[in-house]
Amino acid sequence: DSGVTQTPKHLITATGQRVTLRCSPRSGDLSVYWYQQSLDQGLQFLIQYYNGEERAKGNILERFSAQQFPDLHSELNLSSLELGDSALYFCASSTELAGRTDTQYFGPGTRLTVL
């Protein structure tokens, strides 16, 4: 158990719909990362937040957005869903103290299926 929680575990929805994925980082971690992993693929970095502010952006579609709240939990919003958005979405957290590179602790993931 990494200490990172993600809800829901599974999500099945239809094309065109909008969903919200939620992540709670490990206690004390200020940084949250979102990744997309399609079937048998690697991890595609989407976005990173640090203490409520966006820090880095990867290959995140305009239909996707995220935010980190004052209590440090984060939400990833996916809208106008397409079949190709079906994937595992991982959240990871790290401490990121003073520019030191820290371990990323991954949550169990949310499996999104778009029908």
> Which residues are at the interface with another protein (CB under 8 A)?
2, 33, 35, 41-45, 48, 56, 58, 90, 92, 99, 101, 103-109
Q: Which is nearer to another protein, 79 or 106 (CB)?
A: 106
Q: How far apart are CA 107 and CA 115, in angstroms?
A: 25
Q: Please, what is the minimum distance in Å from the beta carbon of residue 86 to another protein?
A: 16
Q: Which is nearer to another protein, 15 or 54 (CB)?
A: 54
Q: Which is nearer to another protein, 15 or 103 (CB)?
A: 103
Three-class SS of 70-93? CCCCEEEEECCCCHHHCEEEEEEE
Q: Hey, what long-range contacts does 66-72 have (CB within 8 A, 24 or more apart)? A: 66/34, 68/32, 72/24, 72/25, 72/29, 72/30, 72/32
Q: Please, what is the minimum distance in Å from the beta carbon of residue 109 to another protein?
A: 6
Q: Please, what is the minimum distance in Å from the beta carbon of residue 85 to another protein?
A: 19
